[in-house]
Each structure stands twice: as structure tokens, then as C-alpha cells.
Homo-oligomer: A and B are copies of this chain.
């Protein structure tokens, strides 16, 4: 049996614990950190997987962009605005934010808020 280990342009398999990925402070946000788990740099062709960590009282301000997010909450208490709705959710919640919908995040718990946020490499909708 021949097993292909790497296909040109798509990188190699990657297996990594999130705590072994560098944590970088997010600009234009408060008490918010990002770890880029899987990205273009790994050869991933379509989208990136990141972890956001927001400390208590931290906040990512309202913003929008012509691509979607698919999110999964791992730990903590998230208040999230999507369009004109506000939700409060905790671990085990999946969230889809369509392209061009404004969104905003707050940590409303006493501990760390941690969630996966995936994002396509390219815009998927016309800009508005």
C-alpha cells in the first residue's frame, strides 16, 4: 500500500495542543488574545481555525466583514451581539455569523472565555 504523506500545496498533517500555540494580543479589542491553530501557513486551502481567549470584562467591539464565522464555545460565558440580537451562551454552543452581519463579543463570566472561531481565507460575499 502506498500512503501519500504530503500533497504539493496543501502542507503536511498537523497535530498540536492549543496551549503549544503562541498567544497574541488582539488589537482593537480589550483583554483579548488569539492563537492561530491552523492557517494558510500550514497549507490549509480554505479556512483557518483560531482560538480566542477573552479575560473577564474583556470585549471585542462591533465590526463586520464580507465573510462568515463558524464558532464553538469551549469554556466560559459569552455575550454576543449578532445583528440586532444579543445572546448569552456557554460551553457547547455553536454559532454561525453570516457574511456582513455586525457582531460583538463580551466575556460576562468570572473566568476565562475561550472559543474556537473559524474563518475562510477569502471574502465569500460582496462588501456592503
Q: Mark A residues whose CB is within 8 Å of B.
A: 3-7, 9-19, 21, 37-38, 42-47, 49, 67-68, 70, 72, 74, 80, 82-85, 87, 89, 92-102, 116, 118, 120, 124-125, 128
In the complex, the answer to whether A98 meets B6 with C-beta atoms within 8 Å is yes
In the complex, the answer to whether A16 meets B98 with C-beta atoms within 8 Å is no
3 nearest CB pairs, A to B: A37-B94, A10-B98, A14-B96
Q: Output the nearest chain B residue to A39 by Cβ-Cβ distance.
A: B96
Give Cα distance in the complex from A49 to B98, angstroms: 14
Give Cα distance in the complex from A63 to B43, angstroms: 20
Give Cα distance in the complex from A50 to B49, angstroms: 14
